[in-house]
Amino acid sequence: INGWLRYAALPSSVSWPSIPKHIVVLNTTKTSPVYTAGQELQRGIQSILGQGCHISNDKHEESIVVGTLDAYVAAYGKLNESVELKGDGYWLSTGSKTVILGQNERGALYGAFEYLSMLAQGHFSTVSYASSPDAPIRWVNQWDNLDGSIERGFGGASIFFANGTVVNDLTRVSEYARLLASVGINAVVVNNVNANATLLSPHNIDGLGRIADTMRPYGVQVGIALYFASPSSGVQGQANLTTFDPLDPSVVTWWSNVTEQIYERVPDMAGYLVKANSEGQPGPLTYNRTLAEGANLFAKALQPHGGIVMFRAFVYNQLNESDWKADRANAAVDFFKPLDGQFDDNVVVQIKYGPIDFQVREPASPLFANLYHTNTAIELQVSQEYLGQQTHLVYLPPLWDTILGFDMRVDNQTSLVHDIISGRTFDRPLGGYAAVVNVGTNQTWLGSHLSMANFYAYGRLAWNPAEDTTKIHEEWTRLTFGLDPQLVNTITNMALESWPAYENYSGNLGVQTLTDILYTHFGPNPQSQDNNGWGQWTRADHNTIGMDRTVSNGTGYAGTYPPEVAAIYENISTTPDNLLLWFHHVPYTQQLKSGKTVIQHFYDAHYSGAETAQTFATQWQTLASKIDTQRFNEQLCRLKYQAGHSLVWRDAICNFYHNVSGIADELNRVGNH
């Protein structure tokens, strides 16, 4: 339940210098994150080092002082160093006097968690540094329904809701806030983007207030997802209108009233998340209003209270596959590029990392490079919807890295995606990160112990996207399982092999994850990709496969990137192999840069990916004596399942394309023989 915050006692082999026994807390209000920081330091030092600490306000020579930078200067006078902190940042200086100072209150808590992480990993060298987050928005989204179920959640029922309302016992909510704060997350949207209007009843607004009260000591703000048609949905205790037209004055008043009520109960509410005109959801287009007019409706209601609107770019229509130029990947740019400059300043367009939907491999969404006058955030998914639903080990940060570190070459200049969303590239005031996490009541939070590395790493990368994803995993392993180098190396090695393996045994060369896309999004179902309106097509026939997204002969998608990038994707010879079938429709016999044909690569990759997956359980078994039995056995069970399921994947995909193409495997492994 504590995830990476176990604060395990250091092994006797580690020795450490003396750590101050006094903790000076510069704010003793119980709801203040500074107060929480003091409690957390006391708990952590007791648990990690077995040392009791005394919390007080008295000045001691040897102490740990925690508070805001301003409070420190007021009490102790100026620091010797000049310290520059951005919003939520902290200053950490360790030694016989340890100083942990936040730019604001939650910054102090982040610094305290960082200090405890050092201790828990046995790092005792003295440090003095400032650390500030790369972007102001570092949110998580929960797709929790009010009945307690979670859409695409694989870790049990909701910790927030049951039976149409907020649960009474919010202990798990407090534990979740603690985990979130420890990796620098500052807000959580608690309900599903496929939202329900009943959330806005006075009773449920009070429930949101209780959630916010529970999370406030951790500096985690609460946001909510809205159902666009709420004003005409007969919400109990609210006026009921006959319209939800965003330009209708009665609708404008309705939303400002409801927003007012929410802020009365939750004065620090973070804002709204809106999924509109997507997958059957109502929205402004229902009234021929633009998506910007829809977003600004909420922006104006929130503006007086300091809240922001996260407006999702995941808007697309059903398409007809007989149209060669139809392409769901074009939808976001088609809908949003013409609206650039029309969104209010407190609107942030939240963009899924790729143009389709959380696939195992996608190019970075071109929308990031098409909005110069609009705040943007990236949407990642910790919940492994298409990626094995936590029954498969898949460490996702290397995938996220391919997007965050991608250079869009806007105006032929370096323009990395993480610099665009931080607001640096286009000089925007807001921007950042959202991830669909979907933790549940399961004791492991996500349903799998090893999947928690994705959650941890998400927070670390949202704070600093340049951080090395291998190092993050090593750190997480030390905190979660222990300091033994063999343990750290083995689990990290498994993690690093996992995404390439999953890509190899699911969908290669940019064809997408070949899961069932109609219902479960789980397990192989390559035939489900085509002949439907969802637009996740592969266009596989007897001789050829792949989506032609070129400008010259296809859907034109390649041309939605800035010119230098567009030129790379327009041509087969410059398109990287791992995105070949994303951008081009080619014969199965097309030669890759590796020298193999497409079809032989399919066969080989599926065999090698499944082979790697066979080793995960055996690698894990070498750690039997180093991990407690419960976690060891629970994870072993999942890794064995993955080993078996990877073979199912391998055979399903290889046989499918063998049947479609009629081309034999050079190594004679596939088909009946």
| Catalytic annotation, residues | 279, 357, 385
CA separation for the pair 274, 73 (Å, rounded) = 41
Secondary element (H or E) of residue 138: strand 137-141
Rounded CA gap, 524 and 516, in Å?
6
Among 293, 327, 344, 357, binds ligand GCW (CB under 6 A): 357
Paired strand residues for 221: 187
Binding to ligand GCW in span 369-398, by CB under 6 A:
385
Minimum distance from residue 635 beta carbon to ligand GCW (Å): 26
What 3-state DSSP class applies to 477?
A: helix
Residue 634 touching ligand GCW (CB under 6 A): no
Q: Is 530 in the site for ligand GCW (CB under 6 A)?
A: no
Minimum distance of ligand GCW from residue 516's CB (angstroms):
11
User: Rounded to an integer, what distance in angstroms lies between the CA atom of residue 109 and that of residue 131?
Assistant: 13
- In the chain, the amino acid numbered 304 is P
**Under the criterion CB under 6 A, does residue 516 sit at the interface with ligand GCW?**
no
Token pair, residue 567, equals 């030129």
Q: Should residue 534 be labelled a site residue for ligand GCW when binding is judged by CB under 6 A? A: no
CA dihedral 157→162→166→169, nearest 10 degrees, is: -70
Q: Look up residue 365 and give its DSSP letter.
A: P
Residue nearest to ligand GCW (CB): 357
Cβ proximity to ligand GCW: between 181 and 193 the closer is 193
Determine which residue in the list 152, 300, 631, 669 makes contact with ligand GCW, applying CB under 6 A: 152
| DSSP 8-class letter at 407 | B
Cα dist. 376→292, 420, 422 in Å? 14, 8, 8
Is 317 a binding residue for ligand GCW by CB under 6 A? The answer is no
Binding test (CB under 6 A) with ligand GCW, winner from 2, 39, 46, 194: 194
Provide the minimum distance between the beta carbon of 336 and ligand GCW in the complex, in angstroms, as a whole number: 16
Max alpha carbon distance in the chain (Å)? 82
| Closest to ligand GCW by CB, 358 or 588 | 358
Among 35, 110, 115, 143, the residue binding ligand GCW under the rule CB under 6 A is 143
Nearest distance in Å: CB 386, ligand GCW: 7
Is 106 an interacting residue with respect to ligand GCW (CB under 6 A)? no
Is 351 one of the binding residues for ligand GCW (CB under 6 A)? no
Strand 98-102 to strand 90-93: parallel, antiparallel, or no bridges (unpaired)? antiparallel
Binding residue for ligand GCW (CB under 6 A) from 115, 139, 244, 314? 314
Number of residues in contact with ligand GCW under rule CB under 6 A: 12
Strand partners, 434: 139, 379
Q: Does 328 bind ligand GCW (CB under 6 A)?
A: no
DSSP-derived pairing of the beta strands 128-131 and 161-162: unpaired
Q: Hey, which residues between 241 and 280 contact ligand GCW (CB under 6 A)?
A: 275, 279
109 versus 356: smaller Cβ distance to ligand GCW:
356
The string of DSSP codes covering 76-92 is: H---SS-----TT-EEE
Distance from C-alpha of 544 to C-alpha of 468, rounded to nearest angstrom: 39
Q: How far is 631 from 450, CA to CA, in rounded Å?
A: 10
> Closest approach of Cβ 261 to ligand GCW, in Å?
26
193 binds ligand GCW (CB under 6 A): yes
Residues engaged in binding ligand GCW (CB under 6 A):
143, 151-152, 193-194, 275, 279, 314, 357-358, 385, 521
